Amino acid sequence: MGNIIPDNTVINKCLDVLNVVKYRCPFKDHGAKKLLTGQAVTLLIKAQLEKKESLESITEGLQSEEDLQHFIKLDTIHASTIYRKLESLSTDYLKQLYQDLIEKIGTKYANKQGLPNIGVLNIIDSTEISLPARSKWAYCSKDKNGVKVHTRLALLDETVKLADKIISSTAAVSDQEATEFLVLANLATYVFDRGYINYNLYYEWDLKDIPFVARVKANSKFTIIHEQLFEENSAVGRDVDVEVRVPKTDKVFNLRLIEYQDDQKRKYRVVTNRWDLKASDIAEIYRLRWEIESFFKWIKQHLNVVKWFNTKPNAVWNQIYIIMIAYALCEWVKLLTGTSKTLWEVLKKLKLYWFKSWQTFIDVLNRKSNRTSKGRRKRGKPGRPRKKPKKYQAQKIINP
């Protein structure tokens, strides 16, 4: 425990921005002699980045890594202690850690003006994560317990996207109920899928000059006011000004309805209050909604979201924020290094070079591949494509 980890290591560079390692919560750590808040948060963030499967794997990792022991001033800890600590951590503290880091990243990207001719997009959606059958506190239906992470993903330009706001809830909370925490009056255009159809919300956003693009159902009915001209030879089939009536009220307002097809001939209908854009731009905005699906897929695949270390309510909320802090750290490292590598490539190197020097880490990230060949290419079989499925016969194989 006497060794000193140099200040220029990767783990120091990452966690300095959080200022968390030596943190002792005046309320939660009162009288604690082992595993203070800062130590626990450091262990848990590292565990999420490394996709640890269990609390036991966290404790074994600590026992096997002397550098980690020196770094957090802790040589061993029992899995049950981490279990209890995860539940007792302050959710407000973790939430603030995440928000502070996101704000620092946002400050670095302050000059980003969004997509050409469109501006910044804020894509709103949620992802659902299941909990075991015993977690009745998150009951949703007879065969489902779970939580949701409602997310706002900001597209700051063609290459930069940032999950700058999240709200966690039980799965029974509808997507529409979370919008009041995610939709704010700013210069960004908000993008929604069909899970957010609510004409009263559209009416309120239009009154507040909050621009949005939202998909509606194929059978949604509107009163057509005016048919717009649109580009020929485009995927857009219709561009009309419509009158929208809010159900069960006397509220009436105007929106723009655009119908188009994608490359696979799937039809879409979206409404918007962006009157200044071409119909093809509106179609492009909704196409970019897929970025948030890619984001959800990324955190689930690479940060082990579905592995709960403790399924009690406060522990679940805390782990969600630890996951998001781990994601934001990857964004921060990518920003600091200025690399053009993907976030996944940054994370892979991060896990290998925790206790190496920061300069070594940058050199590895920027190292050019020596491989000149693109590898062996598969070629399609000659002849006409098969129309009927190939028939197989039962195969008898004995492996004595």
Helix ranges restricted to H, 50-198: 55-64, 66-72, 79-88, 91-108, 175-182
Residue-averaged pLDDT of the chain: 89
Rounded to 5°, the CA angle 379-385-386 comes to: 120
Q: Is the model's pLDDT at 304 over the cut of 90?
A: no
What is d(CA 295, CA 167) in angstroms, rounded to the nearest whole number?
15
The rounded distance, in Å, linking the Cα atoms of 331 and 115 is: 20
Structure confidence at residue 379 as a pLDDT band (50, 70, 90): low
- Backbone dihedral angles phi then psi of residue 257, each to the nearest 5 degrees: -110, 130
Taking the mean position of all CA atoms in its chain, how far away is CA 242?
Answer: 34
Domain segments of the chain: what residues?
A: 10-93+310-364, 194-278
Q: Looking at per-residue confidence, does 373 or 40 come out higher? A: 40
| pLDDT score for 387 | 65
Question: Residue 209, SS3?
Answer: coil
Nearest 5 degrees, angle CA 12-CA 17-CA 23?
A: 80
- Cβ atoms < 10 Å from Cβ of 41: 27
Class of residue 204 by CB neighbours under 10 A (exposed 0-12, middle 13-18, buried 19+): middle
Q: What 3-state DSSP class applies to 145?
A: strand
Convert the pLDDT of each residue in 106-160 to its tens digit. 999 989 989 999 999 999 999 999 999 999 999 998 889 999 999 999 999 999 9
CA-to-CA separations, 160 to 112, 143, 291, 295, in angstroms, rounded = 9, 39, 11, 12
Residue 49 tokens read as 């980045």
pLDDT at 18 over 70: yes
Judge whether residue 371 has pLDDT over 70.
Answer: no
The string of pLDDT tens digits covering residues 182-235 is 998 878 999 999 999 999 999 999 999 999 999 999 999 999 998 887 677 678
Is residue 164's pLDDT more than 70? yes
Q: Go through 144-166 and write b for each residue having 16 or more CB atoms within 10 A of its CB, e for each that does not.
A: ebbbbbbbbbbbbeeebbbbbbb
* Cα(339)–Cα(363) distance, integer angstroms: 10
- CA distances for 35 relative to 28, 87, 92, 322, 362, angstroms: 11, 13, 19, 16, 32
Tell me phi and psi for residue 51, to 5 degrees: 55, 45
* Tens of pLDDT, residues 268-300: 999 999 999 999 999 999 999 999 999 999 999
CA 299, chain centre distance (Å): 6
For 114, residues 6+ apart whose C-beta sits below 8 A from its C-beta are 120, 121, 155, 156, 157, 188
| Residue 287 main-chain phi, psi, to 5 deg | -60, -35
CA–CA distance, 359 with 365 (Å, rounded to integer): 10
